Each structure stands twice: as structure tokens, then as C-alpha cells.
């Protein structure tokens, strides 16, 4: 019997070879290129052989994999066909692939209200939940990136970036000259927004606001919002972070924005949802989409208020 982890690894392997790159496979599977590579590496470690090779034309199967490749492709064609045939039987399931930060910091904390109103609907989010994991296309994908318009795409909200810190660090620096507040305190760098041309980094912020800070480009770097939030709540320093996913922590005082809203800036990229056209034929998907749009409007309105405060 194939273990679920091996099945996911085989899926990543087949997708990577079909698409020719880890990035294209990641787009197909709604995970990161690093996750695709990790799944393939886990399978290679388990089998003790290399399965893919990288050449000028992209990824290719090694000699060890070649005898099994046609079977692998046929198997996933059959799985996709079976998934489509069984789709109408999943009348009470919603399968979502989303970036981890929006799941952990925004979606899951809100989902209880939807579940109360629709107790019979089950979720599988990034492979976990009360609905069983299945292969094939998910019903909804949520990502952060350049705005893409389309009939089955919803722009949820852009983010508002501003310096964030802990209440303790805010108190420590509040009595200092405003232009000196950051000198001597660690600056944390969040790479989550780095592909966005409108995003602020510390060098930009220091220059724009006349702050005195030695080497603002130095400091610890973080890929995930959740990781930098953990560091901030441990009094590790200051970070420029979006407010969209921090509403509850700002409301209960676990985090603070120590500078006025004029110190912030909007992203040009946005959190967006994409739905499968055929999935929207099912009532539970339409209900979830409507609920998601309501939650997004509430967040967008709150962000507008924070930006004007």
C-alpha cells in the first residue's frame, strides 16, 4: 500500500516531469517550488536513487525512473479521471490550497463562523482537515501576488505595510527622539513582499522618514509572516509587516504599530482567490465564495480605516 506521503511525492514527481520545472509543477499543485523539490527528494531518499536530472530543456527522468515513467503518467491520468467522475459525490467537501500565513493567521480563525452556519460542510486545507485528502485540482486557491483578473478570480484585499513591534519595545523607545527610535534596536526583514514593486523595506523607510539608523539593511530575514510575528512577540525588534493578517494581535495588544499611518504604504500585490469553474456548480462552493468575499470586504474596510488613522 502506498503511504500518503509517497503518493504526494509521486504526484510532485509526475507533475514536475510533465511541466518541465519545479515552478510550473508548483503552480499546478498550488504549493511552493521548494515543497515540490522536497517531496521528490524524500522519494529519492526512500528509494536510494536519483529520479530526475536537470538539463537545458528542463527536468528529465533518470535511467532509474525511465522504466516506470509511463506507468506513473498513466496512473495519474486514471486518478484525475476518477477524481472528475467522483466530483459530484463530494457535495459536502471543500478543498483549498492556500499560502500558510493566510490560513494560519486569517482563514482558520474566521472559519468557525462558517462552520456554525454550515455544520455539514467539511474542509481539507493544504492536505489537512476533516475532509480526506484527494489528488487532483482543488476547489479554491488563495495566494498573494500580482493582481490577475478573471471571472472565477476574486481580489480579496491588498495589504498595508508599516513598522510593527511588541508593546515592550514600543515602551522602551517611546521616550526617545522620534528620529532615533530605531538606532540600536534590531531590524527584522520580511521577504514575503519582496517581489512587490510597491513594498517597503527598511532602507526605503529610513530614507523616506529621515530616521537615523546605522546599516538598515542588516538584520535577521524571514520568509513567513507567522515567523516574524513570533519573533516580534518575543521582543526581538521591529519589522515592516502588513496589517491584514495581524488584526487580532493588534486589537488585543500583542503587537503595536509604533508610528503614525503616514509611515505606511499599500502593496500593489494582493491576496486573491481563484475558484474552479466546474466547482462553482456546487452549492457549498458558492456559499464559501460568498462568505470569503464578505470576510475580505470586512478586512479591506478595516485596513482602510487603519491607513487613515
Q: How close are the terminal C-alpha atoms of the chain, in Å?
A: 58
Contacts of 139 (CB under 8 A, 6+ apart): 94, 95, 96, 275, 276, 279, 282, 285, 288
Q: What is the pLDDT of residue 105?
A: 97
Q: What is the pLDDT of residue 47?
A: 87
Q: What is the pLDDT of residue 89?
A: 53
Domain 4-87 in CATH 1.10.1040.50: no
| Per-residue model confidence as pLDDT tens digits over 153-176 | 999 999 999 999 999 999 988 888
Rounded-to-integer distance, Cα 185 and Cα 169, Å? 9
Q: What is the pLDDT of residue 4?
A: 59
- Outline where the chain has alpha helix (H): 4-19, 22-29, 33-47, 66-86, 100-102, 108-117, 167-174, 202-209, 225-233, 247-251, 283-308
Q: Are 110 and 248 in contact (CB under 8 A)?
A: no
Rounded-to-integer distance, Cα 257 and Cα 76, Å? 49
Q: What is the pLDDT of residue 159?
A: 98
Instruction: Give the position of cell 486589537.
Output: 251
Q: What is the pLDDT of residue 251?
A: 96
Domain ranges of the chain: 4-87, 91-309
| Per-residue model confidence as pLDDT tens digits over 253-306 | 999 999 999 889 999 999 999 998 888 888 899 999 999 999 999 999 999 999
Q: Residues in the chain, how many?
A: 309
Element of type H or E holding 268: strand 265-275
Class of residue 34 by CB neighbours under 10 A (exposed 0-12, middle 13-18, buried 19+)? exposed
What is the torsion angle, in degrees rounded to the nearest 10, for the CA atoms of residue 100, residue 105, residue 109 and residue 115? -30
Segments in the chain below pLDDT 50: none
Q: What is the pLDDT of residue 304?
A: 97
Domain 91-309 in CATH 3.60.130.10: no
Amino acid at each position: 500500500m502506498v503511504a500518503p506521503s509517497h503518493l504526494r511525492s509521486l504526484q510532485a514527481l509526475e507533475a514536475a516531469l510533465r511541466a518541465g520545472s519545479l515552478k510550473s509543477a508548483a503552480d499546478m499543485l498550488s504549493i511552493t517550488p521548494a515543497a515540490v523539490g522536497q517531496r521528490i527528494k524524500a522519494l529519492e531518499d526512500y528509494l536510494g536513487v536519483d529520479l530526475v536530472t536537470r538539463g537545458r530543456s528542463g527536468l528529465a527522468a533518470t535511467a532509474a525512473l525511465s522504466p516506470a515513467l509511463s506507468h506513473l503518467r498513466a496512473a495519474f491520468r486514471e486518478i484525475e479521471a476518477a477524481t472528475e467522475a467522483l466530483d459530484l459525490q463530494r457535495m459536502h467537501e471543500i478543498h483549498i490550497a492556500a499560502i500558510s500565513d493566510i490560513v494560519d493567521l486569517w482563514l482558520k480563525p474566521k472559519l468557525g463562523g462558517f462552520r456554525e452556519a454550515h455544520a455539514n460542510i467539511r474542509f481539507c486545507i493544504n492536505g489537512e482537515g476533516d475532509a480526506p485528502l484527494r489528488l487532483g485540482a482543488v476547489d479554491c486557491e488563495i495566494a498573494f501576488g500580482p493582481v490577475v483578473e478573471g471571472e472565477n478570480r476574486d481580489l480579496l484585499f491588498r495589504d498595508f505595510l508599516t513598522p510593527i513591534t511588541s508593546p515592550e519595545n514600543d515602551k522602551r523607545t517611546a521616550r526617545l527622539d522620534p528620529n532615533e527610535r530605531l538606532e540600536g534596536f534590531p531590524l527584522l526583514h520580511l521577504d514575503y513582499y519582496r517581489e512587490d514593486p510597491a513594498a517597503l523595506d527598511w532602507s526605503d523607510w529610513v530614507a523616506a522618514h529621515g530616521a537615523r539608523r546605522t546599516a538598515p539593511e542588516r538584520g535577521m530575514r524571514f520568509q513567513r509572516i507567522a515567523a516574524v510575528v513570533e519573533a516580534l512577540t518575543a521582543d526581538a525588534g521591529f519589522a515592516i509587516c502588513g496589517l491584514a493578517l495581524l488584526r487580532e494581535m493588534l486589537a488585543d495588544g500583542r503587537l503595536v504599530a509604533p508610528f503614525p499611518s503616514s509611515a505606511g504604504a499599500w502593496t500593489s500585490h494582493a491576496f486573491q482567490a481563484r475558484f474552479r469553474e466546474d466547482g462553482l456548480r456546487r452549492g457549498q462552493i458558492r456559499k464559501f465564495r460568498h462568505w470569503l468575499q464578505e470576510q475580505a470586504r470586512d478586512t479591506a474596510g478595516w485596513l482602510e480605516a487603519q491607513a487613515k488613522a
